[in-house]
Amino acid sequence: MKQKQKTILTAVALLVVVGLLFVAERSLNPYYQRILNLCAIYSIFAVTFNLIFGYTGQFSLGHAGFAAIGAYVAALLTLSPAQKAVNFFLKTIISPLANLEVPFLFALIIGGFITALLSMLIAWPALRLRGDYLAIATLGFSEIIRVLMVNLQSITNGALGLKGIPGYTNLFWSWGCLAVCIFVVKRLVDSSYGRAMAAVRDDEVAAEALGVNLFKHKMMAFGLSSFFVGVAGGLMANLISTIDPKVFLFTLTYQIVGVTVMGGMGSLTGSVISACLYTIFLEALRPIESQFTIGSLTVPGIPGMRMVIFSFLLLMVVLFYRKGLMGNKEFSWDGLFRFFKRLLPKKNINSPGGGGS
C-alpha cells in the first residue's frame, strides 16, 4: 500500500475516533463514559510502563506512588478554596495551597512535572541498581510516598483523603492526553535516543562501550514516563472526584505491570488494547462479586473475585503466551489488512473499519 493512501486512512480513522468520542461524550450514560475514561487512563499507565520496562529494560515498580503524586497535585490545584476548607477540618491546609486554584490544563502539567521531578530524585540513587533490586527499591519508594501522604495531613489531608474534586476529566481530556503520550513515546523510542535505550535494555555493558551514557538515558526514560504517569494520576483524581492514599496501593502497580505484559512488552498498541480490555472486563465481571446462582448452587458474593480471574489470565499469559497480545509489533495498516485477509481468505477486502488512534 502506498504511503499516501495510508496517510489518508490514518486521517480518516482519527476523524472517526474523534467523532465517536464526541458522540460518546454527548449521549453515552455517565457510567459508560467513566469506563471509557478509565480505559484511556490505564492506557497511559501501560504505555509509560512499557517505555521504562519494555523499551529501556528498567523494572521499576513505582507507578502507583508516582500516580499518587500527580493525582494529589492536580486535586489540590483544582479544588476550590471553599471546598478545601470543607475537606481540611481536622488540620488546616498550609497557607499557600489554601487559596491556590489553577485551570485544569495547568494543574495536569504541573502535576506531571512535579511527579517527574520527584521520581527522578528517587531514580538517582535507585537506578544504580539493576533488575530485581531496582524493582524492590522503587516499590519501597512508592510505599514511602503513600505513607507520607497519610502523615502529611496539612498538605494531603492524610487518610481522610480529598473529596469533591471537580470532575473536569472528560473523554477529550483523557483520550487527548493518551494521544499526546503515545505520540511522544512513539517518536522517542523510534529516534536515536530510543535506539540507545533499547541498547541499554539489551546489554548495558555493550551500550556503555558504544558511548551510550547509561545514567542519562535511564533518567530520560524514567522522567518522561513519570511525567505522563503524573498526568494520568491527575486525570484520575478529577474523574473519580474522591482520592485517598488507599487508591494508590501497590496493587495498582501490579495491575499496570499485568496489563502491560498481557499487551506485549515493546508494543504501544498492545498496551492500549490490553488496558482497554482490562478495564472493560473488570467492569463486566462485576456481577461475579455479588451473589449469584448456578442451577441449585448459590455462590455468595466474594469481593476481589475479579482479581482472581485477572491473576489467572496473567498466569496463562506468562505460561503459554509470553509475548502478550502484540509481542513487540505495532499497529499498521498493512498489518491490519493482512489480519483481515487471514480471517477471510477467499473474500476481497476493500473497505476497512475505523482503526485505533
Partner 1 sequence: MTPLLEIQSITKQFGGLTAVNNFSTQLVAGELCALIGPNGSGKTTIFNVITGIYEPTDGHVIFAEEDISGKRPDYITGKGIARTFQNIRLFKGLNVLENVIVGKHLRLDSDPVSAVLHLPKYLQEESDMRKKGMTLLESLGLAHFAYDEPTSLPYGLQRKLEIARALATEPKLLLLDEPAAGMSPSDAEELMAFIQHILKTFNLTIFLIEHQMRVVMGICPRIIVIDHGEKIAEGDPEKIQNDERVIEAYLGVVDHA
Which residue ranges make up the site for partner 1 (CB under 8 A)?
A: 184, 187-188, 191-193, 195-196, 198-199, 201-203, 205-214, 220, 266, 328
Burial code (b: 16+ CB inside 10 Å, e: under 16) for 260-285 equals bbbbbbbbbbbbbbbbbbbbeebeee
**Measured distance between the N- and C-terminal CA atoms of the chain, rounded to whole angstroms:** 19
Whole-number minimum distance, CB 3 to partner 1, in Å?
16
- Residue placing its CB nearer to partner 1 in the complex, 170 or 260: 260
Give the Cα separation of 49 and 262 in Å (integer): 12
Is the Cβ of residue 63 or residue 201 nearer to partner 1 in the bound state?
201
Of the two residues 241 and 328, which places its CB atom closer to partner 1 in the complex?
328
Q: Provide the b/e sequence for 322-340 (b: ≥16 CB within 10 Å).
A: eebbbeeeebebeebeeee
Shortest approach of partner 1 to residue 317 CB, angstroms?
A: 20
How distant, in Å, are the alpha carbons of 176, 177, 285 from that of 169? 11, 11, 25
Query: How far apart are CB 327 and partner 1 at their closest, in Å?
Result: 12
Length of the chain: 357
Residue number, 197 or 275, with CB nearest to partner 1: 197
Minimum distance from residue 341 beta carbon to partner 1 (Å): 23
Nearer to partner 1, 67 or 221 (CB): 221
3-state secondary structure of 126: helix
* Closest CB 345 distance from partner 1, rounded Å: 28
